[in-house]
Structure 1
Amino acid sequence: MPPAYPSKHHTVFVNSTSPQNDSALFSTIPSEIRSIIFTYALASYATVDPNKAYRPDAVYTRPEYTAPHIPDVALLSTCQAVYHESWWRLWENAQHTFWLTALDRSPLTELQTRKQRLLYGDKSAAPRRIQPAQHSDFQQRLRALFISRPEPSTTPSDESSTVDKSPPVELGHARIFPQLYMLEPGNALNQLYKLPHFHPRCITITLRHTDWWFWENDHHLFIRSGFVNKVRLPRSCKVFCMELESLERKKAQIDYVAAQMCDDWQFSRAEDNMPFRADSKDCETTTWEGSSMWHGQRWVRDEVDERPEKLSYYVKTVLSESEYKRPHAAEIHVPTALAQTTRAPNAVAAPGAMGVSTQGDFLNNNELVQALVPAGTPASEARQMVADWKERRRQRYVRETGFRLAHQGPPGGFIPIGDSQANAQSNSPANDHASVQANDGSNDDSDDGTDDETSD
């Protein structure tokens, strides 16, 4: 509902506002119903302009985030009465999105860039200390557009005391996409929550598949709890959600983390210390399918052959409500035994530990192009085609240089070695298949016509 007191919001209107007594919208329909109508009419939606749509393989493309969100403002142009009653809904109804991530993991539209500067100071800089709120465009808009303040009822000298006591206009929904290295310490989240005039009713934190620690190594899921014990939700918050996303095959791990959050974690609200807890029966699950490309790499490890170039995601939403207090929150680690049951279908090796190489778990896009791998090729076939292309390239290198090559890494990965190295390695049975002699009979001129690619 709009504030019941006059607003200081300035417009360019010259004529006075008509009461619209002849309009059924204002004379017959109750203001509560009119509020619902205006809220629906001014809701934001993903633009259908194909020139503004996000790439399907962009790291931030997902359900509800296929293009920048824009509102339809035609309603506000109908008359001043509608405008004065609903101008602020454009900001209240919008889903305000914040990206606590490296900047190449977020869309940098004009509005997003302003919010990034709030968090990072410079859109071209890596994540660092959050800049003071008073220097951000977003903070200025919060003050100018979100807050309807009463006119001073006494003298100008009393205005400052009157302004600070006026009730705020609350935002509907704030959504945060953090990487764990930005979320867990809690500092960035705290600074966001403490912005003056930032009063969201609902807050959602979404952890994407690539936001978890060591996802590249297929490490089991874990999350540290520092932010739970440190961060206080804004006083306006009434609903707090955490969306946990990973691959469909890691469903059991997501369920485990969600269950632990429901059992052990408790968030608190600022000022009144109202505790927020989750109940497992209130958790919701969704699934969706997206591209397996990530920054120019096709992650064949996680594909299933029936759905080439696609990854299936599993999302569980943990909804927190105010309830009794709980002890200090602890870290959550998926047990190793459970992690072993969710192994990738096309993994080269067992799920990796921290820092273990992921070589072979993905195929670089330039290799897919040079190996002439058609779009839609299943992961196992694509990996074999790239390996065959590398082998043809290796054999051609042997013919042209006389070097023999030592095998290193996954199939098709070779490096040249000198004669002294080769002789030292040739005595080892383990290297019988890792090197070949120049002028070997198997390397006759039997090219298949597809090995004329330029070498990397």
Structure 2
Amino acid sequence: MSPQSKNTRIENLTNRRVDLVVDEYEAAGRFNEQSSSPLFSVLPRELRDIIWEYATAPFEDQSQKFDENTYYYRPGHTARLKSHTALLLTCRRAWLEANAMPMLQAEHSYYYHREAPDRRDTAWTAGLTALNRRNFGHLHLFVQMFAIRSLNCDPGRLRKYFLETAPVEGDFQPRMLHVTLRHTDWYWWESDQPLDLHGSWVQHILNSPDLRSTHTFKLELETLDYKIDQLNAIIQRIKTFESDEKETHIVNGKPTTTKFVLVDRQDSYTWEGPTNINNGNFAPYDGKDKLKYHVITLTWKLTFPKIPTAFVPELRRARRIQEADITHPSLRIPTLYIADTHRHWIPYMHGQRGRLYHQMRSGTVRQLPGWAIWGRMQNLAVEVLRISQKQDELAEEVRRLQFVERKGASAREQYRQRWASEGSLLRLTDDPVE
């Protein structure tokens, strides 16, 4: 049985999510200190972090190279990206210190559209463990203009490009967001039309509440060398955009503001590629041996204007504000009982049908034919019966959940005692299984 299957079985028995202790201080007493190893007894933690970072850094796997004439082939993406994680299996002490590094450093590429074989999508993201989602590193969004033009800064809107499940605190806080428009992502690139960028979506990214625990935002724009003047004009316009300053974090018990600030430099590079992009023939490139690309990247860093020395760590999980819980009050329908002219007792709800009752009492309805009054009362009875059935269903669901909770409480205690005796890093969270 796989570890994932075992966890699912335990979650079904206990009605709680299974998690791992990932903090070395919380795990004290449950791992070997490795005091005989110079790695842990001599080197300080800061140097070990550099070792973990270097050993788990992503790289291009040359055994899985991409075709040069595809849409997605470009510098940094000439082959599948890979990370080595064998170091995490050496001992529990190493795992506790370095388990976040592979995800924090990994570059996960999402494509809308014209994707590479190593693409990620929202289904892949949803299948990650809660720990891995908390440790998102470099999210790279390759997006065509039409697929991002409608972006706004509503909560969760930017998040939907990467994760469509219901938001959970801390499940989306990437270290870096990197958005790239390739030459083939601009409008009408096939017919060599002038570059056109409506910058509202860039402004919305800077103001998005989804990004306020992210260290860096990069915008990368690519075009052909003979359009560099057009691109420079767009770049200068984007540089004028200002990020809103919003209260997003709690520091020492007090709300504090954050904003993205443009780094005072722009990065650029050039590269060459074939003219038959994706094995196609394009009239504007007739007679050319190669296409010469020019790429410009703008970078913004998240800052705390009121606390200049504060920052969101690059390789550590950033804290997020504890958002208020959203409660769903149980359905409660107050009922009264009234008698109609035929002396039948019929329950009714407050509201529109309550007004009918008051009209009857005041005499304003007495002029209606008896069949009309009776018809109305029959409709009311049918509605009340439907609501009564719904109440019964809800009551049955409450009884089922109470039974599951009582059954799960016993299993939870058994697993807690077992894991404590084994020194296991497994634990049960407070989150019930849906």
Q: Is the 1:267–1:277 Cα contact (8 Å) retained in structure 2?
A: no
Residue 27 (str. 1) matches residue 37 (str. 2): no
Cα distance per residue 1:352-393 (max 9 Å; x no partner): xxxxxxxxxxxxxxxxxxxxxxxxxxxxxxxxxxxxxxxxxx
Residue 83 (str. 1) matches residue 83 (str. 2): no
CA distance in 1, matches of 2:84, 2:277: 33
CA distance in 2, matches of 1:246, 1:65: 17
1:276 counterpart residue number: 260
Aligned in 2, Cα 1:291/1:266: closer, same or farther, shift over 3 Å? farther
1:107 counterpart residue number: 116
1:257-268 correspondence to structure 2 within 5 Å: 257-264=234-241, 266=243
Cα distance per residue 1:166-209 (max 9 Å; x no partner): xxxx4332211110111110166352477541111221111100
Code of the aligned partner of 1:65: H
Task: Count how many residue pairs are aligned between Structure 1 and Structure 2.
Answer: 265
TM-score by length of 2: 0.55
Q: Is the 1:172–1:200 Cα contact (8 Å) retained in structure 2?
A: yes
Code of the aligned partner of 1:79: C
CA distance in 2, matches of 1:41, 1:24: 18
Residue 311 (str. 1) matches residue 325 (str. 2): no
Q: Is the 2:110–2:162 Cα contact (8 Å) retained in structure 1?
A: no
SS in 1 for 2:178: strand
CA distance in 1, matches of 2:243, 2:112: 22
Cα distance per residue 1:129-162 (max 9 Å; x no partner): xxxxxxx341241514344xxxxxxxxxxxxxxx
1:189 counterpart residue number: 158
> Higher strand share goes to which structure?
2
1:205-244 correspondence to structure 2 within 5 Å: 205-231=179-205, 232=208, 233-244=210-221
Q: Is the 2:179–2:218 Cα contact (8 Å) retained in structure 1?
A: yes
Q: Is the 2:266–2:296 Cα contact (8 Å) retained in structure 1?
A: yes
CA distance in 1, matches of 2:159, 2:189: 26
1:56 counterpart residue number: 68
1:175 counterpart residue number: 140
Aligned in 2, Cα 1:229/1:317: closer, same or farther, shift over 3 Å? closer
SS in 2 for 1:213: coil
SS in 1 for 2:268: strand
Code of the aligned partner of 2:132: L
**RMSD of the TM alignment (CA)?**
3.0
CA distance in 2, matches of 1:56, 1:246: 17
Residue 143 (str. 1) matches residue 130 (str. 2): yes
Code of the aligned partner of 1:6: E
SS in 1 for 2:128: helix
Code of the aligned partner of 2:128: R
Q: Is the 2:203–2:241 Cα contact (8 Å) retained in structure 1?
A: no
TM-score by length of 1: 0.53
CA distance in 2, matches of 1:324, 1:269: 10
Structure of higher RCO (CA pairs closer than 8 Å, 6+ residues apart): 2
Cα distance per residue 1:253-272 (max 9 Å; x no partner): 11111111002454677836
SS in 1 for 2:31: coil
Code of the aligned partner of 2:269: T
Cα distance per residue 1:72-101 (max 9 Å; x no partner): 123223333222321232211101221122
Shift of 1:222: 1.2
Q: Is the 2:212–2:258 Cα contact (8 Å) retained in structure 1?
A: no
SS in 1 for 2:201: helix
Code of the aligned partner of 2:142: F
SS in 2 for 1:68: strand
CA distance in 1, matches of 2:204, 2:241: 15
Q: Extract unaligned runs of 5+ from structure 2.
A: 1-21, 250-256, 306-434
Q: Is the 2:56–2:85 Cα contact (8 Å) retained in structure 1?
A: yes
2:275 counterpart residue number: 292
2:222 counterpart residue number: 245
Shift of 1:45: 0.9
SS in 2 for 1:96: strand
SS in 2 for 1:141: coil
CA distance in 2, matches of 1:222, 1:57: 25
CA distance in 2, matches of 1:264, 1:303: 38
CA distance in 2, matches of 1:243, 1:264: 16
Aligned in 2, Cα 1:190/1:303: closer, same or farther, shift over 3 Å? farther
Shift of 1:229: 4.6
Q: Is the 2:69–2:273 Cα contact (8 Å) retained in structure 1?
A: yes
Q: Select the structure of larger CA radius of gyration.
A: 2
CA distance in 1, matches of 2:77, 2:211: 25
Cα distance per residue 1:260-307 (max 9 Å; x no partner): 10024546778366332436x4111111111222232133623665xx
Q: Percent identity?
A: 26
Code of the aligned partner of 2:31: T
